[in-house]
Amino acid sequence: MTFGRRLADAFDTRGRLCVGIDPHPGLLDAWGLTDSAFGLEKFALTAAEVLAGTVPVVKPQSAFFERHGSAGIAVLERTIAACRELGALVLLDVKRGDIGSTAQAYADAYLHPASPLAVDAITVSPYLGFGSVQPMIDTALAHDRGVFVLAMTSNPEGPQFQQAATADGRTVAATVLDEVASQNAGAEPLGSVGVVVGATVPREGVTPSFDVNGPILVPGYGAQGGTVDDMRALFGDASPWLLPSSSREILQAGPDREALHAAAVRAADDVAGLDRR
């Protein structure tokens, strides 16, 4: 079963909220945990146990595990396994982008089922040229997994590149969206190649088409200020396959498990206002 099909099924049974597991040092401290591999494991596995049985997608941020070295990567492996055992799809936020054999090595690390770090999907950066991420897309599709390609991000530096005009007059971001749409042509009910578009990206000027026949990961919902109304206004007819993502606003409700679960339920109820039909 393709990643796109599994995600569509998860939307139907679990709603459309993606919750990030971001073991930021400040959150570890807020939970009364040390900034160590031990604190990391307690934080990540608690979040996985509370959230992964409820939401459709869990998104660990790889960098916060990597900063603890090999012990942190071991915790990431256990977190991925715990989330998948509880039925959540795991989208690893790694934003990898490279060329040739190195891009293929990243693909093998995260998308080949034989890897201990294998997940359902990863985030990738196309800003070495869209062809640079093709090995990761090809590997994902070969193993019924997915990728989410950065298109329009909310950080203030992003527009310098993403909104630059190409020779044919389109923005660079628009060319990324068009390339993803080509990858998903003919896929039903949903392609396995998604895009990442921030909930708070500026809407001034011409808005490109977000009809990519694939999922749209929307970070920036919640604590970063993005709302359901913002998403509805930005994406319009493309709203049916949005995957709003929230991390800090939900995670700061821990370490109390009931409070953490309640925060996720509130967010899930809110984004349910994005009617897919």
Q: Name which of 97, 104, 89 is nearest 146 in CA terms.
A: 89
Give phi and psi for 92, each to the nearest 5: -85, 120
Contacts (Cβ under 8 Å, ≥6 apart) of 207: 234
Q: Which two tokens stand for residue 169?
A: 């007059």
Distance of CA 111 to the CA centre of its chain: 15
Torsion of CA 92, 207, 158, 248, to 10 degrees: -50
Distances (CA, A) of 38 to 33, 69, 77: 8, 12, 14
Helix ranges (DSSP H) in 31-170: 37-51, 62-66, 69-85, 100-111, 134-142, 159-162
Q: Is 59 a catalytic residue?
A: no
Catalytic residue (one of 14, 95, 248, 257): 95
- Rounded CA gap, 10 and 190, in Å? 12
**Class of residue 165 by CB neighbours under 10 A (exposed 0-12, middle 13-18, buried 19+):** exposed
Contacts of 36-43 with CB under 8 Å at 24 or more apart are: 36/68, 37/68, 37/69, 37/71, 37/72, 37/74, 37/75, 40/64, 40/65, 40/68, 40/71, 40/72, 40/75, 41/75, 41/78, 43/254, 43/255
| Other beta carbons within 10 Å of 115 | 13
Catalytic residues: 95
